Amino acid sequence: MSETAGGLRIRGLRVAFDGFVAVDGVDLDVAPGDIRFLIGPNGAGKTTLVDAVTGLVKATGSALFGEQELLGREVHRIARLGVGRTFQTAALFEELTVLQNLDIAAGAGRSPWTMLRRRGAVPDDVAYALETIGLADRRDVLAGTLAHGQKQWLEIGMLLVQNARLLLLDEPVAGMSHEEREATGELLGKVAGERTVVVIEHDMDFLRRFARTVTVLHAGKVLSEGTVAQVQADPKVQEVYLGHATGEPAAQGAEA
């Protein structure tokens, strides 16, 4: 398992579903420690790209994490290489406590002997994750009783204890309050650096606040890439979003 942040280098990524090409020859470089936002209209291929990188759908081309090729490997092997993801709905054990959820996630990468030795005490990595996600004082409450935002943070904590070095987060602030969004942005800032983070996001205010670099996908291809300001000023991006019912974003951002 990699102990340092690796970069993600995708070349010629292609995913087809029964002849429909959802991801169509994508090249994407995410530098080690970066926070890359992946945006684009509905159906652009964002989730499918993440599914391909994490082994959930078959893809051709190449996706290197550090030195390791991810394509063609099974989901659990990709996870063991340090690649972790969240989904749009949090996948937690709601009837277990925050601490138990983290313990189980940590256990996935530990031997039974290590688990036995550590029983009773809170292992350092779990304590670190609790602190990082801001749930140290909620460690003994049932995950099911957490606020929506806290559930997402717990999921990120579970990736931290699994020692994920590449985190792929699918719309982490969907449905969150303003305060929760701010806290999530700060959490991403803490998590990146030692780790590489890719965020699929529709929320343009959140993107403007917290993205370092942005890639815009459209119809399975990379439409634009750069800093937030560069992408927002790109006429191609404005056109795609202006022609799209939900797409306030780039048009508003053009003044930036």
Query: Which parts of this chain interact with ligand ATP (CB under 6 A)?
Result: 17, 20, 22, 40, 42-48
d(CA 39, CA 171): 10
d(CA 130, CA 54): 25
What is the SS3 string spanning 109-135? CCCHHHHHHHCCCCCHHHHHHHHHCCC
**In the complex, what is the shortest distance from the CB of residue 18 to ligand ATP, in angstroms, rounded to a whole number?**
7
**In the complex, what is the shortest distance from the CB of residue 201 to ligand ATP, in angstroms, rounded to a whole number?**
9
d(CA 13, CA 108): 29
CB 35 within 8 A of CB 211: yes
Q: Which is nearer to ligand ATP, 36 or 46 (CB)?
A: 46
Q: Which is nearer to ligand ATP, 6 or 40 (CB)?
A: 40
CB 195 within 8 A of CB 8: no
**In the complex, what is the shortest distance from the CB of residue 17 to ligand ATP, in angstroms, rounded to a whole number?**
3
Q: Which is nearer to ligand ATP, 138 or 181 (CB)?
A: 181
**In the complex, what is the shortest distance from the CB of residue 81 to ligand ATP, in angstroms, rounded to a whole number?**
22
Q: Could you tell me the two tokens for 56?
A: 């959930």
Q: Which is nearer to ligand ATP, 150 or 215 (CB)?
A: 215
How far separated are the first and last CA of the chain, in Å rounded?
Answer: 41
**In the complex, what is the shortest distance from the CB of residue 45 to ligand ATP, in angstroms, rounded to a whole number?**
4
Q: Which is nearer to ligand ATP, 155 or 201 (CB)?
A: 201
